[in-house]
Structure 1
């Protein structure tokens, strides 16, 4: 938990915010507004002690430095939203004489203009009022200078600041992660579902649709990872396992491996206790019977996390891990194919806890 989160009254309302991010945003706004004011003053030939800033730039700085990924914080909304709104307010100020009516029209028409021109920017409402109040005395260039010039320089400062801080600006949404395979037991969502849900809610969120989908995909990925961690070997194992007795001949073992396309067979005694494992490599050794050819088997217990088997499979020498009870009786097997089934079928685990391949499934136990 971040230090800021320990104090409930000062906990940020924006998700993902940290104390360090807010302090950096404060420093960025300080530098951005200061440099913008200084540059504008010098351009206006007022000298370094003149301040040539309009009030909406303070609100624009909040968006540019605190939430740079917001659709309302991108360069065109900042520059276009401020300048166009100032122009709307300036025009209304010359046409409408009633102050209250003029103020309402200026802000309302500014919102409509920004929406139509895809540059909606909250400080534009204030820029419209600034243009309205400046109309009686300002020149026709007022919406461009100082308002447009202020916004342009502030965006340039934000661009430089975020690049130095290692943050991409302007913000471009990364493509959403590839959706997992959809199954009956765990359906996924698609882009059309996101659009339909937004229409159903009927609300406006300060996040792009692509960012929203990317966030939902990340949440889905974490939920899936948690499900993998919660998956036990008993949930993943194949229960009916083809096996051979200790006295099975080399020929019987070879025939079973070939007919079922198996990499290994467990060797069990009369009580179904696992004695070892035999595969094509072991068949190359000396001996005529299974117990003379078998090698030690990789084993686990039913309650062990299935995720822990990946390290054994990754070594390349283990292709099947056998699940045993406390008396070493064979309960099932987890193979590489079983894990592949989980990944491709999206944790499609049946009620019996058996999603797996059919490679080891058979009731036959030749001797």
Structure 2
């Protein structure tokens, strides 16, 4: 291997992200968020309480909390209760350890140990909490002067301000924080059958069994893990059958209705053409949404009963529509061009027929 190739390989190794899904943009946003939040947290506390030996401007564990809050905001360890509760409870454990144990070497170990136990039982595990416990044990005169109030001022106060700033920062950046894992699929028909997407492939009990065999704790919400694995299945299907696009299988003679149509006109079209989803267009022919018999049941006009449409571009892989068309709610995906005009529609039947044709092709390739 040449020297240049070796250097390139070394560079990729050194600068490749250690966290799954991390990008340069995400890391830069994390740096900016931490800069703003830590500075403002210190500024707010300094403004209201002043700066002096009686009260630290900001406690050191906030730096570690900022790393989690801005670098891995989807982590269960970085959620608001984890940050506020974890730091506060851990600081209290450190105060108690220092009060009852006068040997520092023993007190620091007991403080951190109690912090881990307390955070685990209160469902607010937060790694910087260990540092908060140590700070409470070894903090010196500033901590001693505040006694049992130290976990609340400044620890809880710092944590609350940091979390509030984090929420605002992530909202401005259109990021999901506090992070809420997507709930597991449910049967929308309210029967005891499992939802269709879980009848083939892995099930939730398979995820539990795999986690039990690893005998390790992973820094990811269990719901997020299941969602990730299901998306991996979709990506594998797209890779195998990605040559078939939406344009290849879509219906092009799309039955649609204008936004000013009456509900009676829309119902007549749905029944005449035996379809369940009716696209609604504006005056220029752009898609507004869709209606079905459910939306039009008690309606007089289409306007006011239009729901958001599931859409896709013509060049998208047809298999990528599987999660949408098997969610138990969506019966068709409207295919739109870059200007928002309707160019086609793919129903569950269209995708099922296309998938049936793909299977023999896949089997033939494997056999060859």
Per the TM superposition, whether the score is higher than 0.5 is yes
Partners of 2:174 and 2:10 in 1: how far apart?
24
Matched, 1:66 2:71: yes
Partners of 2:105 and 2:94 in 1: how far apart?
13
> For residue 8 of structure 1, what is the aligned residue in structure 2?
13
> For residue 146 of structure 1, what is the aligned residue in structure 2?
154
Once the 2 structures are TM-superposed, how far is the Cα of residue 46 of structure 1 from its aligned partner?
3.7
> For residue 194 of structure 1, what is the aligned residue in structure 2?
207
> For residue 290 of structure 1, what is the aligned residue in structure 2?
none
CA contact under 8 A between 2:93 and 2:133: conserved in structure 1? yes
Once the 2 structures are TM-superposed, how far is the Cα of residue 15 of structure 1 from its aligned partner?
1.1
Unaligned runs of 5+ in 1: 232-305, 309-313, 315-335, 354-367
Aligned in 2, Cα 1:137/1:350: closer, same or farther, shift over 3 Å? closer
Which of the two has greater helix per residue?
A: 2
2:166 to 146, 151, 158: 158
Alignment of 1:84-95 (within 5 A): 84-95=89-100
Aligned residue for 2:218, secondary structure, equals coil
Aligned in 2, Cα 1:352/1:57: closer, same or farther, shift over 3 Å? closer
Matched, 1:106 2:111: yes
Unaligned runs of 5+ in 2: 1-7, 186-194, 245-316, 320-332, 334-347
Once the 2 structures are TM-superposed, how far is the Cα of residue 343 of structure 1 from its aligned partner?
3.9
Once the 2 structures are TM-superposed, how far is the Cα of residue 154 of structure 1 from its aligned partner?
0.3
1:23-50 per-residue CA deviation (whole Å, 9 max, x = no partner) reads 1110100000000011111121349xx9
Once the 2 structures are TM-superposed, how far is the Cα of residue 226 of structure 1 from its aligned partner?
1.8
Q: Which structure has more RCO (C-alpha within 8 Å, separation ≥ 6)? A: 1
Aligned in 2, Cα 1:346/1:160: closer, same or farther, shift over 3 Å? farther
CA contact under 8 A between 2:92 and 2:151: conserved in structure 1? yes
Q: Normalized against structure 2, the TM-score is what? A: 0.60
Aligned in 2, Cα 1:88/1:337: closer, same or farther, shift over 3 Å? closer
Partners of 1:216 and 1:349 in 2: how far apart?
25
> For residue 224 of structure 1, what is the aligned residue in structure 2?
237
> For residue 175 of structure 1, what is the aligned residue in structure 2?
183
1:287-340 per-residue CA deviation (whole Å, 9 max, x = no partner) reads xxxxxxxxxxxxxxxxxxx979xxxxx9xxxxxxxxxxxxxxxxxxxxx98962
1:340 to 352, 355, 360: 352
CA contact under 8 A between 1:179 and 1:188: conserved in structure 2? no
Aligned in 2, Cα 1:190/1:102: closer, same or farther, shift over 3 Å? same
Partners of 2:50 and 2:155 in 1: how far apart?
16
Partners of 1:349 and 1:180 in 2: how far apart?
23
1:215 to 228, 232, 237: 228
CA contact under 8 A between 2:65 and 2:128: conserved in structure 1? yes
Partners of 1:100 and 1:148 in 2: how far apart?
26
CA contact under 8 A between 2:318 and 2:351: conserved in structure 1? no
Once the 2 structures are TM-superposed, how far is the Cα of residue 176 of structure 1 from its aligned partner?
5.2
CA RMSD of aligned residues (A): 3.3
Partners of 1:197 and 1:346 in 2: how far apart?
31
> For residue 128 of structure 1, what is the aligned residue in structure 2?
133
CA contact under 8 A between 2:64 and 2:128: conserved in structure 1? yes
Once the 2 structures are TM-superposed, how far is the Cα of residue 136 of structure 1 from its aligned partner?
3.7
Greater Cα radius of gyration, structure 1 or 2: 1
- Aligned residue pair count: 245
Aligned in 2, Cα 1:181/1:16: closer, same or farther, shift over 3 Å? closer
2:26 to 1, 21, 35: 21
CA contact under 8 A between 1:89 and 1:129: conserved in structure 2? yes
Once the 2 structures are TM-superposed, how far is the Cα of residue 229 of structure 1 from its aligned partner?
3.1
Aligned in 2, Cα 1:96/1:51: closer, same or farther, shift over 3 Å? closer
Comparing 134-143 and 199-208, the one that deviates more: 134-143
Once the 2 structures are TM-superposed, how far is the Cα of residue 139 of structure 1 from its aligned partner?
2.9
